[in-house]
Structure 1
Amino acid sequence: MTNQADTTAADEDQPERPLSMLSIDRKTSIKIGLSFLVAIAMLYLVGKAAGLHAVRESLVYGNHEWLAVACLSTFLGLVAWSKVWQIVLSIVGIDASLPHVTKTFFAGTFANYITPLGQVGGEPFIAYIISKDLDTNYENSLTSVVTADLLNLVPFFTFSAVGLGILLTRAEFPPIVQTSAYGLAALVVVVPMTGYIGWNHRVGVKRAVTAVANPVARLTSRVEVASILARIDRFYETLDTIATAPRRLAYALVYSLVGWVFFVLPLYFAGLVLGISLDLWLVLFIVPASTLAGFVPTPGGLGGVEVALVALLVGIVGVPASQAFALAVLYRVASYWFTLVISAVPTVYVIAKA
C-alpha cells in the first residue's frame, strides 16, 4: 500500500496539466477553428490581390514531382530534429529509440502547428507530451526540450546571417530586407541575453517567479509556490547535467544543422515546381526571415508566414506577386500542411496513451 509521502512525491513529479490537445474542450476547439478560418480568409485576400487566376494557372501546370521532393525534405528535416531530441534526452538518462522519439516529436509539432501562438512558448506542453509518452520526469523533459530548441537556433541564426551577408553585397537593398534584418538582429540579441540571465541569475529568476506566483497562490489552492520553486531547482539541476556533455551537444548540433538544411530546401524545390530557380543563398535568408511571421496569433503562423514569403520573394527575387503567392502556398503545403498530415497518427497514439 502506498503511503501518503509516496503519493505526495509522485504528485510533485507531475506538472500541472497544461491546456492542450489532451484536454481540449468546446471553447478551445472553437478558438482553434476560428483561428484557422481567419488565417484562410487572410490567405484568400492575399491571393485575390495577387491574382487568383494567375495563381491557379501556376499551381495547376507546375512540375509537381518537385513538390513530392519538397515534402520528403521536410520529413527528413523533422527526423533530424528528432535525433537532436534523442541525443539531449539521452544525456539526462532518458533512453528511447529514434522511431519512438520521432513519434513524440511529431505529436509535439502537430500540437504547436494547430494551436494559435503555439510556436511561442510551446515547450511546456511538448515536455508534458514527452513525460507522458516516455514515462519520465517532467523537469528532465522540459530542460531537454529547451536545450534542443536552443541548439536549433544556432543554424537558424547562422543561415540567416550568411544569406543576409551575401544579400548586403548587392547594390540594391529592398526595404523588406531591412525590416527582416532588424527582426533577426533583435532575436540574435534577445535570445542569448535571456539565456545568459536565466543561467547566471538563478536566484533572481526564482524571486521573479515567486513574485508572480504568490498572488495566484492566494486565489487558488492548485498553485503552490514551494512546489514551483522545487521544480525550478530540478530544472537547473538537469540543465547542469546537460552542460557536462559538450561533445554530445556538439553531435546534436550537427543534426540540428542537417535538419535546418532540409527545412529550407522545400522553398527551393517549390520554386522548381513553377520553373523558378532560386539562389540557395537567398533561400537561406528568406526561410528564417519568414518564420518571424510565425509569431502571429494563428495556428502555425498560417497566413502571416505566407504574406511574409510573398513580400520577400517580390522584394528580393523580383518575381510577380502571383508567382510569389503560388510559391509560398507550395512551400507551406510541403512544410506545414504535409507536417500536419503525417503527424496526425502519432498524435492520436500519444493522446490515447496519455
Structure 2
Amino acid sequence: MDDSRWATVLGFAGALVVLGALVWLVGVDETVTALTSADPGGLALVFGIAVLWLTTWGLALWTVLRALDAPLPAYMAVLVFAGAIFSNNITPFGQAGGEPLSALLISTAADSEYETGLAAIASVDTIHFVPSLMYAVVGFTFVAAGAVRLGRNLMFAAVAVAVLTVGLPVGAYLGWRYRYELEATVVRLLTPLLQFLGRVVPGRSPPSKGGIEHRIEGFFAAIDRVAADRWTLVQTLGFSALGWACLVASLWTSLYAVGITVPVASVLLVVPVGSIASIAPLPGGSGAIETVLVTLLVSTTPATLVVATSAVLIHRGATYWLPTLVGAGVATALGADRATTRG
C-alpha cells in the first residue's frame, strides 16, 4: 500500500477514534436511542436539504467554469463538485489536502488544463468564506445579545468570528495587491521541487523552468479572470450563500428530528464556526467538526449533550457521507475515462 493510501487509512482510523470517543463520553445507549427514535419525515427532509446544498455549490463551480471558458453542463458540474468533496473528505486537512485531486477531476471533466481546474476550485472555495462569515457574524450578534455571559465556548466562537472577520479581508487584499510578487515567489519555490520530482519519479522527465512558469502564470491568470468578472462573482456568491443556508437548515432540521426546536441564530453561528475544524489533520475534518458542533450547540441552545450529538451525527451523515459516496462514483468514472483516454 502506497503512502497516500496509508495516510487515508490512518486518517479515517483517527476520525473513527475521535467520533467513538465523543459517542462514548455522551453515552452509547442514549445516543442510539435518540437516533432510532428520530422522526422519519425529518430525516428524509435532512437528506433532501443535503441534495439541495450539493446542487447549489455545484452550480457555483458551474458558474466559475463558464467564466474560465471551460464550461460543463450544470448537472455535470454538480456531479464533479461531489467528486471534489469526495477528495476533500478522504484526505487530511480537508480542502487544503484535497484540492490537487479536485483540480484533476475538474480538468478531466471539463477537458481543460490542470491549472484551470485548480483555479476553479480555489476560486469557489475562497468565495465560500464570504457568506459563511456573514452568517457567523449575524448568528453571533443575536446569540451574544441574548446571553447572560459569554462562556468559554462562546469566547472561542467570538475569537473565531473575529479572526475570520479581520483575517479574510486582509488576506484577500494582500493576496490581490501583491499577486505578481506572490506569483514570482511560487515559481521560485516550486521550480526546484518539481524538477527534482521529475527526475526521481519513474516515467517522468523533469519539467523546464519555462514550462513551470507558464503553468503557474496560467493559474494566476485564471484567478484574475474570475476576480475581474463581477457577474460571475455575484452569481457564485449567490449560490454559495444558498448552500450555506441549506447547511444551516440541515442542522436545524436534524435537531427538530430528534425532538428539539432551537433558535435559528444559534445554528447560523454554529455551522460556519464548526467548519473551521476541517483544518484538523483528519479526512474532511471528520471527528473534529462533530466535536465542535456539539460543543457549540450545547453552549448556545437548550439541547442536551445526547440530543446535540444525535442531531450532529444525522446532519453530518447527510452532508458528509452522501456527497462522499456520490463523489466516489464520479471520481472512479472520471479516473477510468482518463485512463481510457491515455490508452
- TM-score (normalizing by structure 1): 0.87
Q: What is the identity, as a one-letter code, of the residue corresponding to 2:112?
A: T
Question: Which amino acid letter does the alignment assign opposite residue 137 of structure 1?
Answer: E
Q: Deviations over 1:3-34 (max 9, x none)?
A: xxxxxxxxxxxxxxxxxxxxxx5432232122
| 1:81 aligns to 2:57 (yes or no) | yes
Match of 1:285 in 2: 269
Unaligned runs of 5+ in 1: 1-24
Q: Secondary structure at the match of 1:122?
A: helix
Structure 1 pair 103–291 and aligned structure 2 pair: CA distance change class (3 A): same
Seen in structure 2, the aligned counterparts of structure 1 residues 42 and 240 have a Cα distance that, compared at 3 Å, is closer
**In structure 2, how many angstroms separate the alpha carbons of the residues matched to 1:238 and 1:245?**
11
Q: Aligned residues, how many? A: 330
Give the match's secondary structure for 1:248. helix
Change (3 A) 1:196 1:121: farther
**How far did 1:208 drift?**
2.3
Q: How does 1:212-291 map to 2 (within 5 A)?
A: 212-213=189-190, 215-216=192-193, 219-220=196-197, 221=199, 222=206, 224-291=208-275
* Structure with a larger share of its residues in helix: 2
Q: CA deviation at 1:348?
A: 1.8
| 2:159 match | 182
SS of equivalent to 2:39: coil
For 1:227 and 1:192, the matched residues in 2 are separated by 33
Work out which of the residue numbers 172, 176, 197 in structure 2 matches 1:199. Answer: 176
Find the aligned partners of 1:65 and 1:240 in 2 and give their Cα distance.
45
1:295 deviates by 1.2
Q: Specify whether residues 34 and 79 from structure 1 end up closer, same or farther in structure 2 by C-alpha distance, changes over 3 A only.
A: same
Q: Note closer, same or farther for the CA distance 1:140–1:219 as it changes in structure 2 (3 Å cut).
A: closer
The one-letter amino acid of 2:271's match is V
Output the CA distance in 2 between the equivalents of 1:209 and 1:100: 32
How far apart, in 1, do the equivalents of 2:331 and 2:190 lie? 32
RMSD of aligned alpha carbons: 2.0
Aligned counterpart in structure 1 of residue 303 of structure 2, from 319, 332, 339: 319
Measure, in 2, the Cα distance between the counterparts of 1:266 and 1:235.
35
Aligned mates of 1:212, 1:248 — CA distance in 2:
31
Q: Which residue pairs with 1:296 in the alignment?
A: 280
Describe the SS at the equivalent of 2:156. helix
Are residues 1:131 and 2:119 paired?
A: no
Alignment-mate amino acid for residue 156 of structure 2: T
Aligned equivalents of 2:184 and 2:239: distance in 1? Answer: 36
Corresponding position of 1:65: 41
2:72 match: 96
Please state how far the C-alpha of 1:173 moved relative to its aligned partner.
Answer: 1.6
After superposition, what is the alpha-carbon deviation per residue over 1:258-314, rounded to whole angstroms, capped at 9, x for unaligned?
A: 111112211111111111112111111111111111111111111111111121111
SS at match of 2:96: coil
SS of match in other structure, 1:286: helix
- Identical amino acids, percent of aligned pairs: 26
Indicate if the aligned counterparts of 2:109 and 2:334 stay in contact, CA closer than 8 A: yes
Displacement of 1:225 in angstroms is 3.6
C-alpha separation in 1, matches of 2:18 and 2:134: 31
1:213 Cα deviation from its structure 2 partner:
3.1
Q: 1:49 aligned to 25, 28, 37, which one?
A: 25
Between stretches 65-74 and 243-252, larger displacement belongs to: 243-252
- Tell me which amino acid in the other structure corresponds to 1:240: D
- Runs (5+) with no aligned partner, structure 2: 200-205, 339-343
Tell me the distance in 2 between the aligned counterparts of 1:178 and 1:51: 27
